[in-house]
Amino acid sequence: MKQTKTIALVAHDNRKKNMIEWVEWNWQKLLQHKLVCTGTTGKLVDEALNRMHKGEGAQLATIKKLKSGPLGGDQQLGAMIADGNVDILIFFWDPMQPQPHDVDVKALLRIASVYNIPTATNRSTADFIIESQLLNQVYINITKNYEDYINRSLDIKH
């Protein structure tokens, strides 16, 4: 990972308020990085950063806005992770509310784990990540090689 990270911000509807409060609390740190967001979360994050930034003279963050999660945004984000284009995932998901795209949510969390990127699914973990001294340093992400697993799976099927 480079010194400047690409941070993905995602929030389910019942957690968007929490995400925006977190963004407003951490806006100065977030401005030092590139951001990618799904759907409405991206619009709300952009508005929050503009509101907080007003009069500060700092450069606004680069925000890439994807589709809404249920419309493919989770899958777009998963592809970005698999391609090495996301360094950190902050995903405030709602564990008490069934989602119409639960399989996509599970796939996104799985791919973040496969590619060993720091992942926060709640505010306390997001706080630990944003406060880490590693956030603004070059970091060598060691990813497990799954080729043996894939090859074994192929052998079993033949």
Domain ranges, ordered by start, for the chain:
6-157
More confident residue, 63 or 158: 63
Q: Which is more confidently placed, 102 or 124?
A: 124
pLDDT of the residue at 17: 97
> 55-78, pLDDT tens digit by residue?
565 556 679 999 998 899 999 999
pLDDT of amino acid 56: 61
> CA-to-CA distance for 36 and 64, rounded, in angstroms?
5
Catalytic residue IDs: 74
Question: What pLDDT, on a 0 to 100 scale, did the predictor assign at position 147?
Answer: 77
CATH of 6-157, one of 3.30.565.10, 3.40.50.2300, 3.40.50.1380, 3.40.630.30: 3.40.50.1380
Average pLDDT, whole number, for the chain?
89
Average pLDDT on 4-18 reads 95
